[in-house]
Chains A and B, each alone.
Chain A
Amino acid sequence: MKNSLRAALISATAVVVFSSSAWVLGAQQGGAAGAAVEGQGGAPAQGQGGGRGRGRQSGPVTPTPRLPDGTVNFGRVPGEKGVWAVPYITNMAMRVVGKDGQALPEIQQAQAAARAGGGGARGGGGGGGRGGSKSEPWMPWMPWSAAVYDYNSKNESKYDPEGYCLPPGGPRMMATPYQMEIIQQPEHKRLIMIFEGATHIWREIYMDGRKFPEGDELNPTYLGYSVGRMENPDTLVVENKGFNENSWLDYFGHPHTDKMEVVERWTRPNKQTLHYEATVSDPGAYTRPFTMAWDIPWRDGGELPEYICQENNRYLNRLEDDLGQPIFGPRPQPGLKRPAGTR
């Protein structure tokens, strides 16, 4: 009996390992170039192949759907359901690409070194393997942005605003692993993106050729002000300005300022793949612009369920600052214990 139990466990384990990796490649990575869980400190998890290249798809690849006027259809085909399964990209520095659209050579080297080094790059699971700004020399740091990033690395993103149920801003919308939909409304000269996660929010992208508001008319917000255009029938280009400073670029905690401007480019090389590119220009935090890219896989038949992050966010109640004081909720009086039921 012991033996049969052992055999059962061994086969079960084998199946878990196999199906887990298949899941990573299939459901989450799906469209390849970037839709992968990022390893900490630079290395992608095993079996992800560095996240370069395109079109590694688990199912059959079918042609790009188009609207009647020939423009790419970034959403559903009439009569079908489906959503974009946004990947979890925890460190955008590992997605920086060169002019050729490929990951920078130094990133490829860092990934190879981390793979060769075994578990050294795991860190985020609690082992403390995040390398901070020095491990990303290709990032155009300013001294302060490097220092803030090092701080966020050291405390393992404890103060991530997304953990407070605040929305991601800019490219992180496309790196927070919940589903999203793109709804084109050419008759209204606008495009809507709706998101299950982050904070169950939407983006409205004005496609009417308008100019950006100037000066104080451009009120800083989490998602910024978005003006888009079809550069050609295949490529949607969206310019974004007017971000506030309440969000991080990514889970790892790359900071940005309200001087940030983001230019996003979207293509749909086939029905199953959305290719995303974002160029971040933030003269308040980085000495030159950089471009990141990844793919987002289509999940056939999917629909967006409700997700209200603020419902019961116990993380807020437990969160303490570096001096051990609660960040939210009642502060203990000197000499008194914390209120019962808080931890």
Chain B
Amino acid sequence: MRTKFAVVIAGLVLLTSARTMVAHHSFSAEFDANKPFKMTGTVTKVEWMNPHTFFYIDVKDEKTGKVTNWAMEMGSPNGLMRAGWTRNTMKAGDLVEVEGSLAKDGSPTGNARSVSMNGKRLFAASSQGNTQ
């Protein structure tokens, strides 16, 4: 059972990591790779658009109870489709876990590197990997 679990996870990751990076604007002018984040929230809106797909999530601060709406940037729809996404992969109301890098300006904005939902982890075709 344990081995099977590990193999399944590893397989899923392998399947979803055949990613295509797409570059557009300067990642490092806006985001700080030295400020990684991992947060979980509820999707409020998805903008499946060029040059970058954005989605927004409500994230609740466990201590204060305050809810903040975060803007998350991913790659282009083409890049995302090559990474296994479709425009309906993520919808408003979905609970997602996002990993990526925070904006330098301190605003609630992130560059998503991967998104996990419904037990699947998909890479976000973001520009970060390109400039490191």
- Chain A residues proximal to chain B, CB less than 8 Å: 3-5, 7-9, 11-12, 14-16, 19-20, 23, 27-28, 37, 39-40, 45, 88, 90, 122-127, 155-158, 160, 162-163, 165, 176-178, 196-197, 251, 305-315, 318, 343
Contact = CB atoms under 8 A, between A and B. Distances in A.
Contact of A163 (B19, B22, B26, B47): B26
Majority DSSP secondary structure for residues of B touching A: mixed
A4 B17 contact: no
Given A157-B26, A343-B107, A126 B31 contact: yes
A11 B10 contact: yes
B24 A126 contact: no
A312 B129 CA distance: 22
Contacts of A306: 78
A314 B18 contact: no
B28 interface: yes
Given A309-B51, A311-B51, A15 B14 contact: yes
Contacts of B67: none
Given A8-B5, A12-B10, A15-B10, A124 B28 contact: yes
A308 B77 CA distance: 10
30 contacts: A4-B5, A8-B5, A8-B9, A11-B6, A11-B9, A12-B10, A15-B13, A15-B14, A20-B17, A27-B18, A37-B129, A37-B130, A39-B132, A125-B131, A126-B31, A126-B34, A127-B33, A156-B28, A158-B26, A162-B24, A251-B26, A305-B78, A307-B76, A307-B78, A311-B50, A311-B51, A312-B54, A315-B30, A315-B51, A343-B109
Given A23-B19, A177-B130, A309 B24 contact: yes
Interface string B96-113: 000001001001010000
A27 B25 contact: no
A343 B70 CA distance: 12
